Amino acid sequence: MTRTLSILAALVLVAGGAPARAQNPAQIAHARSGASCPGCNLFQADFANVELKGRSFAHARLRQADMSTAVMNRTSFAGADMRDVNAYGAVFGGASFAGADLTNATFVGTFLEGANFSGAHLAGVNFSGAEMGRAVGLSQRQLDQACGDAATVVPRGLRLAFCVKP
C-alpha cells in the first residue's frame, strides 16, 4: 500500500508540471534602479511611475507587471512575456515590442509613437486612447485581435475594433 501511494504521489508531481516561477526580488530591484535586465524574471514587478529610458528587457518575464505612467522610451521588450501587463498612461516612444507576448495587456492612454510591434502577439490588448499612429510593424491581423476606442490613433490604413460598442 505504501509503495502504491509513493507511485501515485510521484505521478501527481510529474503530471502537475513544473512549479510556477515566482518573481525574483533581486532582479526587480536591479531593474528598478535603472539597469537593463534582459532575460530577467520580473513577474508582477512594480514599475509604476518609473523612468527607464533606453534599457533592455528583451526576453524578460514581465507578466502582470505594473507599468502605469512609466516612461520607457527606446526600451527593448523584444521577445518578452508581457501578458496581463498594466501600462495605463505610460510612455513607450520608440520602444520595441517585436515578438513580445502582450496578450491581455492594458495600454489605455499610452504613448506608443514609433514603437515596433513586428511579430507581437496582441490578443485581448486594450489600446483605448493610445497614440500609436506612427507605430511600426503592425498588421491588420494583429489589430483584429485587439481593441480600442474612438480616441485611439492607429497607423494609416489600419483599423481597430472598439472594446465596448458605442
Q: Say if 14 falls within a structural domain.
A: no
pLDDT tens figures, 68-106: 999 999 999 999 999 999 999 999 999 999 999 999 999
- Whether 151 and 116 have beta carbons less than 8 Å apart is answered as no
Q: Say if 75 falls within a structural domain.
A: yes
pLDDT value at position 156? 97
Q: Say if 11 falls within a structural domain.
A: no
Q: Quote the number of domains for the chain.
A: 1
Alpha-helix runs per DSSP H in the chain = 2-15, 25-32, 140-143
Summary mean pLDDT of the chain: 90
pLDDT value at position 146? 98
- CATH classification of the domain holding 49: 2.160.20.80
**Rounded to the nearest 5°, which phi and psi values hold at 92?**
-125, 45
Render 63-100 in DSSP notation, one character per residue.
TT-B-TT-B-TT-B-TT-B-TT-B-TT-B-TT-B-TT-
Q: Say if 21 falls within a structural domain.
A: no
Amino acid letter, 148? G
Task: Give the domain extent around 121.
Answer: 38-166
Grade residue 16 by pLDDT with cuts at 50, 70 and 90: very low
Q: Say if 27 falls within a structural domain.
A: no
**Rounded to the nearest 5°, which phi and psi values hold at 2?**
-65, -40
Q: Which of 37, 83, 44 is nearest to 60 (CA)?
A: 37
- Whether 89 and 70 have beta carbons less than 8 Å apart is answered as no
Q: Say if 48 falls within a structural domain.
A: yes
pLDDT tens figures, 102-128: 999 999 999 999 999 999 999 999 999
Grade residue 165 by pLDDT with cuts at 50, 70 and 90: low
Grade residue 9 by pLDDT with cuts at 50, 70 and 90: very low
